[in-house]
Structure 1
C-alpha cells in the first residue's frame, strides 16, 4: 500500500523564483546537481509548502503567504528553531536542512526541511487505502498516542521551557482569541458575545505546562507507506508553545467530526474521523486521559473553546475574502461556517453542566 502524499501544480500567484531557490539550495546543501523542480502541496490557508526536487533528492520549503502579514503570525524561523530543539527528544519532527532570514532571496523568511515520504490522510481515505474497522481503530489510537507522547516531553530538558509566556495560558488564549474575533468580524457573521462571555466566566486554572502542538490533526501526521498504521512524522509546528495539554486536545477535537454528527458539521469535516473504527470524541478524551495522566472532571470548557477557536480561524480567513484580499473561492462559505459554529457552541453551552 503506497498512496504517498504528493505535491501538485503551483497555484496562481504563489510561484517562487526558481533561480533564487536553486542558488540558496546549492549553498545550503553540498553536492546538489542540476536544476530543481518545484511543486506545491495542496490545502492549507496559512503558510505555503513546496516540494523541491533535485533528481532523487527531495526537500520541503515552507514560507509565509504572499502579501502584507504580521511577522509574528507566520514566524518561519521560530517554527524551525522549535523543530530543531524538539527533534532529539521527539523523533517525529522532520530534520531542518536550512533557514533563511535574507529577504533578498525570496522576499521573506523561510526554511527547508527533509521531506518525509509517506501517507497523509486528508478529508477521506485515498482510493484503494483499505483499512478494516480494526485497522482503523489501531491507526486512530496510534495518532492519539503521538499527541500524548508530545505532552509528556520534558520541555526543560529539550531547552524549550521558555517557549511559552509562563502561567496564565488559559486566560491568554480566551482573551487573545476573543480579541482576534472582534477584529475579524464581518457584518454577516454573529457576534459570539454569549460564547466569549461563557468562556471568560468558566475558565479553569492552568493545568500542567507542557509542549503543545496547537494544530494536531490527521493531515499534519505522516504515516509509514509500508505500514500505514505507523506514524513516522508530525508536521506544522508554527503554533507550538508551552501550555495546557487539555486546551491542545480541545483544539484537535474541534476538527473531529464523527459519523453521527449533523450535516452542517459534516460539511466542515477535513479528516477521516467518520470512518468505522474511529473513536468518538468522548472516547478520544477518555483514552487520552487514561494514557496521559491529565484529567478534568468535565471537558465541556475545552471542547467549546476548541470550537470557538476554530470559528475565529475560519472567520479570520473569511475576513480576507470578504474584503477582497484573497479571491480563493474555497473561502466564500467560511462566513456561513462561522455562523454554524456559533450555534454549535451555544448549544453545547446550554447542554453543559459547568
Structure 2
C-alpha cells in the first residue's frame, strides 16, 4: 500500500452493497466499466468515506454514519451543494459529481466526488514523507494560510450566500451545541454547565466580516502533494461548512491542535501530527493567522473555549451511538474519556483567561 492509499476493508457493519452502488453509478456515468473494488478510508468518525476503484477510474463516495444521527447533521445534499459551488472560489475543493437522494440504493443518501490522490496525515508524520522540522513548519504555515484564503473567499460570488446566517451566528452556535450536547448525554458524561455559562457571558458581537468557514479544519482533513508534502492540494470534509464568524473556525482548529508540550493524557487524544518538531505552538498558530488575515484577535480565549466545547459535543454525539449499541466501532469506546479530558482542558483555559 502506498503512502497515498490508506483505504482498507470496510469496518464491521459499514460495508456497502457493491452491486447496488455499481448499478446506480453506471446509470448516471455511462463511461464506467468493470466492477469496482470498494474500500473504506480509516477516518470518518462522522460521515463515512469509501474509495470506489474501477479499472480505469477512482471515485470517492460519502454517506452518513449508521445508527442514531443528530437531526441537522449529515446532510449529503448540502455538502454536495457546497462542493459544487465553492470550487469556483477555493480550488482545494474536490469536484462533486453525483448526489443520490434515494435511500433505497444503499440505505441512505450519498454523493460521489473526485478522488484527489495525495498524502493524508494521521496522528504521526509518516517517515516516507521526508518532512524535517523546517518542512513541518512550512507545512504548518501553509495550513494556516489556506484557512485564511478560505475566509477571504467571496461566498456570494460563488453562489453560497444562502449557506448560512451570519447575524447572531455566535449565539446560535453556543445555544445549538448546548442543546445538542444535552440531547446526546449519557449517564457517564460530564454536563459542562460551568463552561456553557462562561461562553454565554463572554460571547462577542457578530463579526464585521462573515466568511465561509469549514468548521472542521484539521491536518487530517487536508491532502498533501506526494512530490512536495508541504504543499496542500485538497481540503476534505465540508459537511459542517457554513457562513459565519471566521474566528469560530480558528477556535475549532485550535481545539484539535495538540502541541509537543501538552501533558501525556492530552497527547493520547491527538489525531494529527501537530506535535512534530517544527510545528507551531497554539500561540504561534494564532499569531500567524492574525498576521496573514489582518484580523484582530483580542478575545481568542473565547474562541478556543468554544472550539473545545464544540469538539466535546461532536465526540459525545458519536459516543452516544456507541453507548446505545447503534455502532460496533470499538474506536468510540474511549470517547467518554476524551470528553471528560476536554472539559478539564477547557476549565484550565478559562481559569487563566484575562476575559
The verdict on a shared fold, with TM-score over 0.5 as the criterion, is yes
Q: Which runs of 5+ in 2 are unaligned?
A: none
Partner deviation per Cα, 1:290-343 (whole Å, 9 max, x = no partner) = 101221213110011111111111111222222222232211221121111111
Q: Whole-Å Cα distance in 1 between the matches of residues 98 and 291 of structure 2? A: 39
Partner of 1:83: 83
Q: Whole-Å Cα distance in 1 between the matches of residues 248 and 286 of structure 2? A: 12
Deviation at 1:44, TM superposition (A): 1.9
Partner of 1:135: 135
Q: Which runs of 5+ in 1 are unaligned?
A: none
Q: Whole-Å Cα distance in 2 between the matches of residues 324 and 139 of structure 1? A: 40
The alignment partner of 1:332 has SS state of helix
* 1:190 maps to 2:196: no
Count residues in correspondence: 353
The alignment partner of 1:103 has SS state of coil
Partner of 1:30: 30
Answer yes or no: is the 8 Å Cα contact 2:124–2:272 preserved in 1: yes
Q: Whole-Å Cα distance in 2 between the matches of residues 189 and 291 of structure 1? A: 39
> Following superposition of structure 1 onto structure 2, how do residues 1-354 of structure 1 map, counting pairs within 5 Å?
3-70=3-70, 72-207=72-207, 208-354=209-355
Say which is worse superposed, 224-233 or 62-71, in terms of deviation: 62-71
Deviation at 1:71, TM superposition (A): 5.6
TM, length-normalised to structure 2: 0.96
Q: Whole-Å Cα distance in 2 between the matches of residues 5 and 299 of structure 1? A: 37
The alignment partner of 2:94 has SS state of coil
Deviation at 1:117, TM superposition (A): 0.7
Deviation at 1:43, TM superposition (A): 2.2
Q: Whole-Å Cα distance in 1 between the matches of residues 58 and 329 of structure 2? A: 28
Say which is worse superposed, 60-69 or 216-225, in terms of deviation: 60-69
Deviation at 1:72, TM superposition (A): 2.8
Q: Whole-Å Cα distance in 2 between the matches of residues 349 and 147 of structure 1? A: 25
Kindly report structure 1 stretches of 4+ aligned residues shifted beyond 4 Å: none
Q: Whole-Å Cα distance in 2 between the matches of residues 278 and 210 of structure 1? A: 26
Q: Whole-Å Cα distance in 1 between the matches of residues 99 and 314 of structure 2? A: 27
Answer yes or no: is the 8 Å Cα contact 2:166–2:206 preserved in 1: no
TM, length-normalised to structure 1: 0.97
Partner deviation per Cα, 1:211-240 (whole Å, 9 max, x = no partner) = 000000011100111111111100000000
Deviation at 1:38, TM superposition (A): 0.8
The alignment partner of 2:72 has SS state of helix
Change (3 A) 1:104 1:189: closer
The alignment partner of 1:74 has SS state of coil
Partner deviation per Cα, 1:176-224 (whole Å, 9 max, x = no partner) = 1111112222222222111100000000012121000000001110011
The alignment partner of 2:73 has SS state of helix
Deviation at 1:165, TM superposition (A): 2.2
Partner deviation per Cα, 1:10-38 (whole Å, 9 max, x = no partner) = 11111111111111221222321111111
The alignment partner of 1:50 has SS state of strand
The alignment partner of 2:20 has SS state of helix
Deviation at 1:68, TM superposition (A): 4.7
Change (3 A) 1:229 1:334: same
Q: Whole-Å Cα distance in 2 between the matches of residues 19 and 55 of structure 1? A: 16
Answer yes or no: is the 8 Å Cα contact 2:12–2:328 preserved in 1: no
RMSD: 1.3
